[in-house]
Structure 1
C-alpha cells in the first residue's frame, strides 16, 4: 500500500479496507512506520518506538472493535502500557516501564488501535509547547518549522497532521489536546470529566483537571474512538452522565431545533486576542448561522481569572512534588536537580511548601468555576471561542528556563479559554476551520454542556460537512 493511498483514509476508512480484505494490518503498519521515519528527522514527534515488535503483532492481528487493527500512537503522558516504555518528557523518568496496562490502554487495544510508539510531550506535560530536553530538541509545527506544534500532545498532533496515523491518543489538563489541535490543524476533543477512565492506577490527574481522549483528522473517528473508550471504570472517583448508545451513530441525527450558541467577544483581565483569532471565530459564527443556528455575542461570565491561574499553579506544583517524590523514594540515587528542567524543578520545590489550606482553596476555586459555568450555560447550548488567543507561537517563546509561576502565568494569556473548561469538567473541542494568509492553522473552540459529547460531536460534524478539513494534510 502506497502512502498516498494510506493517507487518503481516516481510521474508519482503513478499517473498512481491512475488513474487505483489500489490505492487511501488516501493510498498514508498514505505511505508518515508514511515514514516522520520514517525518521524524525534521519534526521530532515520535519517541520510544517498537517498530519491529509492532510489525510482528500486526502480522498476526485479529480484527477487533471499530478500527479493526490500524496503527496508533500513545502519548508519552504516563499512560501505563506493558508494550511501550515512557518518560513523560523527562530525563528523570527515562525508560519508565509498567507491568500492567491502564484501563484506557486496554480499551484502545479492544477498539482495534495498535500502538507502535509514543508521541513527544513537554516535561511532565506542563507546557503548551513540546520542547523537552529529554526529546533532544523541539517538536516542530509541520506548517512552519520555526513555530511550536503546541503541547502537551504536540507529537500526537504532528503525527495526525502529517498522516502517520489517522488518530492518536492525547490528554488534556489545561488545553493539551486542544492547543496542538489548533496549532497543527486537526480535530481535538477534550471529554467531560469522568467519561474516559483513569484507572486502575490513578483516580484523577491535577485535581480533576485532566482528561484523556484522541486527536483525529475526522469527527467520526473521534466519535468511534469515544464509543470504545468512554465509560466509568471500577472505583472511579468521578462519573460523567450516561453515554448514548453510540456517539458515531448519533452523528447523523439532526438537532430538533436550532442551537443557541454564545460567542465570547473578550477575555478576562484585559488579555488581548489576536485579530486573526477573532476573524476565525467571526467566520465560524457565520458558518453556524448559515447552518440555521443562533449565535449571539456576549462577554464571558465574571470570574477572578488571576486567582484561578494561581489555583492551577498550586495544584500543578503539588502534583509535580507528589510525582517526583514518589519516584525518588524508589530511586534514591537519582538527584532531581540534575534531571529536571528549571521550571519543573522550581515547581517541585514550590510544591513542598504548599499548605493543606492552599491546596483545598485551589480545589474549591475549580468547583466554584464549574458552578458558575453550569449556571451560565442554562441559557445556551454551546460556547464559541478562539482556541488560543494567538497563532502558533515561535519556538522558545515559552521557556522552561523561567521560574514555574512566571512560566504558567505567561501561558495563561495564551490558553485563556482552555483550562477553565478543565476546571468545569465540560467537553470542548478545537476545530481546524481557519488559516492565516501564510497557511498557519487557527482553531476555534466549541464548548458543550457537561456530559453532552454527543451534541458537541454532532455540531462539529455539521461544520465539518460544511467546510471539510480532513484532506488538508501537512506534508513537510
Structure 2
C-alpha cells in the first residue's frame, strides 16, 4: 500500500503506470484508496455508500488486466445507475433503490477495469449548488469545513480534494461539475453535448443541457477518463465526434496560437468578487505570455433571458418524472425547496415549455457567434470562493424565483454553456488571501473539447496548482 505522501503524488494515470510497471499491485492501489476514504470521509461526508469488498472481489476475479484495472473510482449518487449499487439521487425517498442495470458510462468504466468503490453525495435531484440533503447530511469543503463543497457534484469534488482518490464521476446540468471543481481547487470539464452517451435510461436529457464526466486533479486524468467513456451508444439521439487517437494523445501537442477573449465581470457587465476578477486577469496574462492573442471581449447575448429561460426549462423537465396529481399532494418526505420546484414544474404548460426552448435557442445562437471570431472564452468560474453551508440548501423557505436568482448570482457563468452544449472547463488557477480556491472557466467552440484540454494542459505546465486541501494533507 501507498502511504499518504506517496498517494498524493499520483493521479489516475500515474497509479496505472505504477501498476503496469509492477511497482505496486492493483489490489494494493485499491486498498490504498479504501484507507484514504476511511481516514478522510468522517470529517467531510463526501462518500455516502461504499462497496469496498465488492470492488476487491471483482478485481480478484479479473483474468486479464488492462491499463485502468483496479484503479479506484467513485460514482455520483445521481443519474448513474449501476447494477447492484443503490441510487437515491440524493433523496431520502429513494434510498436503497437498485435500478438493476448499468448506464452506458458505468458499463464503459467497468469494461475498462475501474474499481467502483461506492457513491458520492448529491443534493436531492441535483437541484442546488451545495451538497446538503435530508438523505445524507452536509458534505463539507475540505479547505474549510464551514463552507459548502458546491453542488451538485460536491461529494465527488470533496472526495478528490481531500485526497481520497485522484478523480471521481460527476454530472453537470447547470454547472454541477464546474462549480464544485472551482470551490475545491480541481479540474472540471463539462464536455460538449453528445461526447459522452447518456443512455440507455436517458435520451436527450433536458434538451441536451445535462452532461456527465468527472472532477480530477490533473488535466491528463480528465482526458484519459474521457477516452474511456466517450462515444455514442445504440439508440442515442445524436453524438459528437471525438478526435482520432483520443483526447489524451492530443495533450502531447500544443494547440497553436489561439485567439482568446476574456471578461473580468459578468456577461451582463455586473461586477464580481475581486478574487474571481483577479483570477481571470492573471490567467489572461499567462495565456498572453504563452503566445496566444488575448484581449477583452464579451459575447453579445441577453444574459438574463438565456439564464432565466434555460434554468426554467431545465426545472420544467422534472414534470415528466411525476404524475400531475403528485405535485398537488403533500409530497411528504421531499425537501421544502424540492417541493416548490416540483410544483413549479407541474404548472408549466406545454406551450410555455416549448416557447422557452425556442427562446434559449435564439440567445444561444447569438452567444455562439462569439466563437466565429475567438477560439476560447475565458471567464471566472464562480462569483467568489465557496459559500457558507446552508445558504443554498433545499431545506429553506425561499420561494422558487428568489432561489433561482440566488443560485445565478453565485454562479453566473455556468448555465449558458449547458444551454449551448459547448465544452467548458474549470481550472484551479488562484486562491483568495485566506487560501480558498478560486477557479477560472475556459470555453471552446462546439466539439472543441480537445482544444480546451490542450490549452488547460499548457496552463497546468507553467503553474503550481494546489489540488489537495492542506488540512487533509496533514
TM value normalised by structure 1: 0.94
Q: 1:116 matched to which residue of 2? A: 117
Q: Which runs of 5+ in 1 are unaligned?
A: 330-334
Cα deviation, 1:160-179, whole Å, max 9, x if unaligned, reads 11221111101110000000
Asked if 1:146 is matched to 2:140, the reply is no
Q: 2:304 matched to which residue of 1? A: 306
Asked if 1:465 is matched to 2:449, the reply is no
Q: 3-state DSSP class of the match of 1:443?
A: strand
Measured after TM superposition, the shift of residue 439 of structure 1 is 1.0
Q: Which runs of 5+ in 2 are unaligned?
A: none
Cα deviation, 1:391-438, whole Å, max 9, x if unaligned, reads 111111113222232212210111111110000000010000101121
Q: 2:331 matched to which residue of 1? A: 337
Measured after TM superposition, the shift of residue 55 of structure 1 is 2.3
Q: 2:432 matched to which residue of 1? A: 436
State the Cα RMSD in Å: 2.0
Measured after TM superposition, the shift of residue 367 of structure 1 is 2.1
Q: 2:81 matched to which residue of 1? A: 80
Q: 3-state DSSP class of the match of 1:377?
A: helix
Q: 1:37 matched to which residue of 2? A: 38
Asked if 1:407 is matched to 2:399, the reply is no
Instruction: Go from structure 1 to structure 2 and tell me whether the alpha carbon gap of 1:399 and 1:325 turns closer, same or farther (over 3 Å shift).
Output: same
Instruction: Go from structure 1 to structure 2 and tell me whether the alpha carbon gap of 1:141 and 1:327 turns closer, same or farther (over 3 Å shift).
Output: farther
Instruction: Go from structure 1 to structure 2 and tell me whether the alpha carbon gap of 1:369 and 1:112 turns closer, same or farther (over 3 Å shift).
Output: farther
Instruction: Go from structure 1 to structure 2 and tell me whether the alpha carbon gap of 1:315 and 1:62 turns closer, same or farther (over 3 Å shift).
Output: farther
Cα distance in 2 between the residues matched to 1:453 and 1:117: 28
Contact kept in structure 2, 1:29 and 1:58, CA below 8 Å: no
Aligned residues: 468
1:382-401 map, 5 Å? 382-400=376-394, 401=396
Asked if 1:361 is matched to 2:360, the reply is no
Contact kept in structure 2, 1:389 and 1:414, CA below 8 Å: yes
Asked if 1:294 is matched to 2:327, the reply is no
Q: 2:321 matched to which residue of 1? A: 323
Q: 2:155 matched to which residue of 1? A: 155
Decide which moves more: 242-251 or 142-151. 242-251
Contact kept in structure 2, 1:312 and 1:362, CA below 8 Å: yes
Q: 1:24 matched to which residue of 2? A: 25
Instruction: Go from structure 1 to structure 2 and tell me whether the alpha carbon gap of 1:120 and 1:369 turns closer, same or farther (over 3 Å shift).
Output: same
Contact kept in structure 2, 1:75 and 1:170, CA below 8 Å: yes
Q: 2:449 matched to which residue of 1? A: 453
Q: 2:262 matched to which residue of 1? A: 263
Measured after TM superposition, the shift of residue 206 of structure 1 is 2.1
Contact kept in structure 2, 1:108 and 1:228, CA below 8 Å: yes
Contact kept in structure 1, 2:185 and 2:467, CA below 8 Å: no
TM value normalised by structure 2: 0.94
Asked if 1:127 is matched to 2:90, the reply is no
Cα distance in 2 between the residues matched to 1:266 and 1:182: 17
Cα deviation, 1:337-381, whole Å, max 9, x if unaligned, reads 211111111111121121111100121223223312321111000
